[in-house]
Chains A and B, each alone.
Chain A
Amino acid sequence: MQDSQRGYDRRTFLKLAGATAAIAACGGATPAASAAPSAAAATSAAAATKAPVSGTLSVYSALNESTNNEFFKAFNAAYPNVKVNVLPLAAAGELQTRIRTEKASPKSDVFIGGSSEFHDPLGKEGLLEQYNSPNAKDIDAKFKDASGYWVGWYTGIFGFISNNDRLSKELGGKKPATWDDLLDPSWKGKLILPDPVKTGGGYIFIATQIFRFNRDEAKAMDYMKRLHANVAQYIPTSPGALTLIDQGQFVGCPNWAHDILTEKGKNNPVDLNVPADTGFEVGAISIIKGTKSLDAAKALVDWSLTKEAGDLNVKLSNRGSTRADVAPAPGSPKLSDVKLVNYDRQWATDNKDRILKLWQTTVGI
């Protein structure tokens, strides 16, 4: 996938998005309809050419607890002859390791969820099956693995959560419009950040700063150092940080927009805003090499890339979709509406070790 090497180009995306939107506007429900019939066509085509897809799927899912049940129920509605055994573990790193340790005798068929940074190395290590789903044509090349080992089907935007009560009392209700706003001394001791060493989100935050400063690492590290003065704690899990804001133990934290919305939806006294020049992640799905249920696995990949699946995931987890025709969650900005940095995913993955060590030395941890 050459795009990921060139780096994400927002203008290209906007053009594509615009084009899709135009077509959508013209055709009314057509794109959606054409998506559905194409999916249906695919399945009915499959149905027409061979027996309905059946088999047992062992799925390693990094999706949220609240997403799994509904999601796979819906999949089963589309593929009633496939039995799905889900191993839910909302920790993609652990799942990735598990897949590695099971190399000699894989116990899973599909790895779903978790950012593409976890799927990619597995592909390079030869632990995944190549598959280019027919439905992947609806997905921008940006979100796909050029070698075909994984495909991105959801997105997550990096935003900011704040505790309403304490924000208004202690900071005049001022949400950070840019990341630089967090350097304000009024944030001292009230800010927390997901630990960059232990969490994907934390690392993406650092990488975002680097891309924000146009790859000037020295400037980015300088920012992180000054930010460090305000950070009360680095939290070992991204969701864990949210709870602390819910409880009002601290005032604000950069974190995943979809998770923040979910917290807000639970009537917690918190709010979301998305500062300018932010980063995002792509959630992937891949097929494990050596799977004995290849057809069923492919079916799951196909289905995850449909609008139906995309809409469902948005509804369940407030995440975004890599499909242009899937509306974002209420309260969540569209990817296109957000001022994103030029996020070079490949570069970020390749330089992770070095950047984190650099950060640790800079900040003195």
Chain B
Amino acid sequence: MRSLRREPGVLLALLAVVVLVGAFIVYPQVRVILTPGDSYGEFFSGGTWRNSLLHSLEVMALSTASAVTLGFVYAYAMVYSDMRWKPFFRLIGILPLLSPPFVVAASYVILFGPRGLITYNVFGQTISIFGLGGIWGVQTIAFFPFAYQLIADVLSRSDARIEQAARNLGAGSWRVFRTVTLPLSRPGLGAAILTTAIYVLEDFGNPALIGGTFTVLPTQAYGLISGFGDLPGAAAVSTILLALALVLYFAKIRLDGPRSFVTVTGRASSMPRPPVAPAISWACFAACMLLAGIIALVYGSLVVSALTVAFPQNTALTFGNFEYITSGANGTALQNTLVYGLAAALLSSLLALVAGWLVERGRWTGRRALDLLLIMPAAIPGLFFGIGYALAFNEPWLDWLDRGVLIIISMIFWNIPVGYQAAVAGLRQIDRSLDEAATSLGASSLRGFRDVLVPMLGGSLRVGFVTTFVRAVTTLSVVIFLFTPSSTVATIRIFQLVGDLNWGRATAFTVADIGLAIVALGAVALLARGRIALGGARA
């Protein structure tokens, strides 16, 4: 990818991405940041944010560490070990991502609360799930799938030959892991840590329900709006979150370094990975089973709740909840959820791929800036993303813009960081000689991207697609300021039902939402298998 002026196609693509990023990431956020105006000083001198900031940092450190570790173990187990039942675990690995707000957290309370079904009835313990401990536990489970996805993608492309070579030189499994596998998976690991940390920072739903008085920045912001109607104050909190994310981002760049992580070269190898000791495979199996057990319990209780009148006080069986949610407006909500989710996922993952390619393979000034901008949305709490869009696109001359479309656009850009990071990590593993080969055979950069790189980035595409879809169908905060009755989605309905304390119906809705999402993902996976060759992952 040499001089841009020689390749108008690439220049065009770059301009398009820059314009899109400017219009849909930068502009709305600028509107939000400018909102407090003078009251910034007031807010900051008030000092209420200090505690929240401290708590946020605590939670971020704890939850990120555990989620990434868990994610790594899971990824290792899935990609490397010979553990059994991998398809089952693949599903489990995605389930926590599908957590529409409130209901799942509420399940944790039902199971593990002071009178929790498991903690009290089974183990006789009265633990307090509320507060830091509870948030830590729930977030670890809620976020390990992000880390797992990113790391698994990178691990699947690791070069088996290098590991075999290390084994040949006498390194034991652990040593190979520590000195070869781990360092080579740094791009994915770095991306995983950064993404997870940022998502933990901006997590609202879990701390809202389980945090109790342990306030973190997003819940403080929500409280400012919900309890006080204080938009400037809330916007100020959002700015703090953005600043934190910036810090994390720069830390990551320092840690990454300019080293090469290339593992996919044009020199193909049919070498299988060195075998993993059976003991390790069994250990992986046990760890994953334990995790799966907890997750199954939580989601299982959702299903039970949906089928009963008032779980756990009243366990009379009923189908009334499910009947209710398929009627009228609810049907529209479910349909919208699916359509918006799929559209956003497809567009976001593709855009992420193109953007990742432009940044990773490009040699133009301003690359770093674009890189930062494409990761930033992850740091913006959904609430603010939504407010930004509401402010930015509410001008009279934009009245023709269908709200549904606006919701889709907001989803695309709010979720682009994960797909983008996956694309960049993936590209860093692919040797440039493959790009050059395509060029030397007459393909322009864009053509080479399409024919050679994209097929090899199937994994990254999948990560972007799945994550965007899953977040799109489970977010409440982004859409809460944008939806209209005709463009309402499942999460809004759940919110309304929960507000009414209609847990039975809310859970039925949640279960339907999750069920549809799984079906949709499954269908896409089947379709994609035929089309996108998985390149190195074939090995």
1/0 per residue, CB under 8 A from A, across B199-226: the answer is 0000000001101110100011011011
Check B113 against A249 for contact (C-beta < 8 Å): yes
Task: Check if B399 is an interface residue, CB within 8 A of chain A.
Answer: yes
Contact B229 A121 (CB under 8 A): yes
CA distance A198 to B228 in the complex (A): 8
Q: Indicate which residue in B46, B110, B212, B229 contacts A233 across the interface (CB closer than 8 Å).
A: B212
Question: For B499, what are the chain A residues with a Cβ–Cβ distance below 8 Å?
Answer: 64-65, 90-91, 237, 239
Q: Does A205 contact B (CB under 8 A)?
A: no
Asked if residues A266 and B115 are in contact (CB atoms below 8 Å), the reply is: no
From B395, B480, B496, B499, residue with most partner A Cβ within 10 Å: B499
Q: How far is the CA of A352 from the CA of B227 in the complex (A)?
A: 10
B231-A100 in contact (CB<8A): yes
B314 at interface, CB cutoff 8 A: yes
User: Which of A87, A232, A239, A247 touches B485 (beta carbons < 8 Å)?
Assistant: A87
Chain A residues within 8 Å of B503, by CB: 243
Interface string of B424-466 (1 = CB under 8 A from A): 0000000000000000000000000000000000000000000
From known contacts A97-B231, A246-B310, A353-B228, infer whether A89 and B480 are also in contact, taking CB-CB under 8 Å.
yes
Q: How far apart are B209's CB and chain A's nearest CB, in angstroms? A: 7
Among residues of B, the one whose C-beta sits closest to the C-beta of A106 is B394
CB nearest to A86 among chain B residues: B485
B390 in contact (CB, < 8 A): yes
* A250 part of interface (Cβ distance < 8 Å): yes
> Are B500's CB and A233's CB within 8 A?
no
Residue among B109, B128, B226, B310 with most chain A CB within 10 A: B226
Q: How far is the CB of B519 from chain A (nearest CB, A)?
A: 27
- Asked if A246 meets B496 with Cβ closer than 8 Å, knowing A98-B481, A203-B227, the reply is no
Question: Across the interface, which residues of A come within 8 angstroms of B496, CB to CB?
Answer: 65, 88-90
CA distance A242 to B500 in the complex (A): 11
CB contact between B109 and one of A98, A195, A197, A244 (< 8 Å): that residue = A244
- Residue pair A243, B48 in contact (C-beta under 8 Å): no
State the Cβ distance, A282 to closest chain B Cβ, in Å.
16
Cα–Cα, bound, A89→B481 (Å): 10
- Closest residue of B by beta carbon distance from A352: B228
Contacts of B390 in A (CB 8 A): 98, 101-102
Q: How far, in Å, is A177 (CB) from chain B's closest CB?
A: 26
B363 CB, nearest partner CB in chain A, Å: 41
Q: How far is the CB of B232 from chain A (nearest CB, A)?
A: 10
Q: What is the CB-to-nearest-CB distance from A114 to chain B, in angstroms, rounded to a whole number?
A: 10
A236 CB contact (under 8 Å) in B51, B208, B231: B208
A360 in the interface (beta carbon within 8 A): yes
State in angstroms the CA–CA spacing of A285 and B273 once bound together: 68
**Could you tell me the distance between the alpha carbons of A100 and B387 in the complex, rounded to whole angstroms?**
10
Does the CB pair A107–B394 fall under 8 Å?
yes
> How distant is the Cα of A199 from the Cα of B392 in the complex, in angstroms?
28
- B497-523 vs A, CB cutoff 8 Å, 1 = contact: the mask equals 111111100000000000000000000
Q: Is A186 part of the binding interface, using a Cβ–Cβ cutoff of 8 Å?
A: no
Query: What is the chain A residue whose CB lies nearest that of B496?
Result: A65
Kindly state whether residue B346 has any CB partner on chain A within 8 Å: no
Cα–Cα distance between A319 and B389 once the two chains are bound (Å): 35
Report yes or no: A102 in contact with B113, Cβ–Cβ below 8 A: no
B106: interface (CB < 8 Å): yes
Residue of chain B at shortest CB distance from A105: B396
Is A365 a contact partner of B481 (Cβ separation < 8 A)? no
Q: How far, in whole Å, are A360 and B500 apart by their CA atoms in the complex? A: 29
Instruction: Choose among B128, B313, B481 the residue with the greatest number of A CB atoms under 10 Å from its CB.
Output: B313
B391 at the interface (CB under 8 A from A): yes
Contacts A94-B225, A236-B209, A357-B46; A268 near B128 (Cβ below 8 A): no
Find chain A residues with CB under 8 A from B116 CB. 249
Determine whether the beta carbon of B51 is less than 8 Å from that of A247. no
Are B481 and A360 closer than 8 Å at their CB atoms? no
* Closest CB in chain B relative to A44 CB, distance in Å: 31
Residue B322 is within 8 A (CB to CB) of chain A in the complex: no
- Could you tell me the distance between the alpha carbons of A139 and B99 in the complex, rounded to whole angstroms? 45
B42, closest chain A residue (CB): A353
Q: Are A247 and B115 in contact (CB under 8 A)?
A: yes
User: Is A85 interfacial (CB 8 A cutoff)?
Assistant: yes
Shortest CB-to-CB span from B306 to chain A, Å, is: 15
How many residues belonging to A are interface residues under a CB distance threshold of 8 Å? 60
Q: Is the CB of B225 within 8 A of A97?
A: yes
Given A66-B500, A360-B48, do A97 and B387 touch, yes or no (CB 8 Å)?
A: yes
Flag whether A54 is at the interface (Cβ < 8 A).
no
Residue interface mask B75-86, A partner, CB < 8 A = 1 = 000000000000
> Do A269 and B313 touch across chains, with their CB atoms under 8 A apart?
yes
Cβ contacts under 8 Å, A102 to chain B: 390, 394
Q: Which residue of A lies closest to B397 (CB)?
A: A105
- CB of B114 closer than 8 Å to a CB of A: yes
Q: Give the distance to chain A from B228, nearest Cβ to Cβ, in Å.
A: 7
Please give, as numbers and ranges, the residues of chain B lying within 8 Å of A242 by CB-CB distance.
501
Q: Is the CB of B227 within 8 A of A200?
A: yes
Contact B229 A93 (CB under 8 A): yes
Question: Which residues from A are CB-within-8-Å of B222?
Answer: 198
Provide the bound-state CA to CA distance between A198 and B214, in Å.
12
Interface: B318 (CB within 8 A): no
Taking the nearest CB of chain A, how far is it from the CB of B163, in angstroms? Answer: 48
Chain B CB within 8 A of A259 CB: yes
Pick from B110, B131, B212, B219 the residue with the most CB of A within 10 Å: B212
A109 at the interface (CB under 8 A from B): no
- CB < 8 Å neighbour of B229 from A85, A105, A118, A248: A118
> Is residue B265 within 8 Å, beta carbon to beta carbon, of the partner chain?
no
Q: CA A197 – CA B399 in complex, angstroms?
A: 35
- Which positions 118-172 of chain B face chain A at CB distance < 8 Å? 128, 130-131
Give 1 or 0 for each of B218-256: 1 = CB within 8 Å of chain A CB: 011011011111010000000000000000000000000
Q: How far is the CA of A29 from the CA of B501 in the complex (A)?
A: 37
Contacting pair A236 B219 (CB below 8 A): yes
A101 touches which of B109, B130, B213, B391 (Cβ 8 Å): B391
Across the interface, name the chain A residue whose C-beta is closest to B230.
A353
Any chain B CB within 8 A of the CB of A213? Answer: no
B30 to chain A, nearest CB (A): 14
A262 at the interface (CB under 8 A from B): yes
The answer to whether A267 touches B480 (Cβ under 8 A) is no
**Is B278 part of the binding interface, using a Cβ–Cβ cutoff of 8 Å?**
no
The digit string for B58-82, where 1 denotes a CB below 8 A from any CB of A, is 0000000000000000000000000
Nearest B residue to A360 via CB reads B48
Question: What is the distance, in angstroms, from A234's C-beta to the closest C-beta of chain B?
Answer: 5
A195 touches B223 (CB 8 A): yes
* B269 on the A face (CB < 8 A): no
Closest CB of chain A to B18's CB: distance in Å? Answer: 26
Asked if B179 CB lies within 8 Å of chain A CBs, one says no
Verify B213–A234 contact, CB threshold 8 A.
yes
Chain A residues near B109 (CB, 8 Å)? 244, 249
Interface residues as binary, A242-260 with B (CB distance below 8 Å gives 1, 0 otherwise)? 1110111110000000010
In the complex the two chains form, is B481's CB within 8 Å of A232's CB?
no
Q: Which of A73-129 contact B (CB under 8 A)?
A: 85-91, 93-94, 96-98, 100-105, 107, 118, 121
A263 within 8 A of B: yes
Q: Are the CB atoms of A198 and B481 closer together than 8 Å?
A: no
Do A263 and B313 have beta carbons less than 8 Å apart? no
Q: Does A182 count as interface, using CB distance less than 8 angstroms?
A: no
- 6 further A-B contacts with Cβ under 8 Å, apart from A97-B231, A247-B110, are A66-B502, A87-B484, A197-B223, A233-B131, A239-B500, A365-B51
Would you give 8 A-B contacts (Cβ < 8 Å), ordered by A?
A101-B391, A104-B396, A105-B394, A234-B213, A236-B209, A246-B313, A250-B114, A266-B310
9 tightest A-B CB contacts, nearest first: A198-B223, A90-B499, A93-B226, A101-B390, A65-B500, A233-B212, A105-B396, A96-B229, A249-B115
